[in-house]
Amino acid sequence: MARDSCLARVTAGFAVGGAVGGAVGAVYGTYEAIRYKVPGLLKVRYIGQTTLGSAAVFGLFLGAGSLIHCGKSY
C-alpha cells in the first residue's frame, strides 16, 4: 500500500475544505441576503463573496490541519 505524499494530503485537505466551505457559504449567504433584503443583482454578488470567503477559510484550515498531521504516523 503506497503512502500519499505530504503535498497530496494537504492538497486533498484544502480541496475538501473548499468544497464544504463553499456549500456552507452558499447556504449562509443566501439566508443572509434574504434576511437583510439585499436588492436585485447585489444578491448574487453577496452570495458569491460569502461562498468564496467561506471556501477559502475552510480550505485553509483543513489544509493546515492536514499539514500538521503529515508528520504523524499511526
- The pLDDT assigned to 4 comes to 72
**What average pLDDT does the segment 26-43 reach?**
96
- The pLDDT assigned to 1 comes to 39
- The pLDDT assigned to 73 comes to 64
How would residue 71 be classed by pLDDT, with cut points 50, 70 and 90?
A: confident
Report pTM: 0.86
Q: Provide the sign of the torsion angle of the four alpha carbons 11, 17, 20, 22, taken in this order.
A: negative
Q: One-letter amino acid identity for 28? A: Y
The average confidence (pLDDT) of the chain is: 92
Judge whether 28 and 54 are in contact, CB under 8 Å: yes
**What average pLDDT does the segment 43-50 reach?**
96
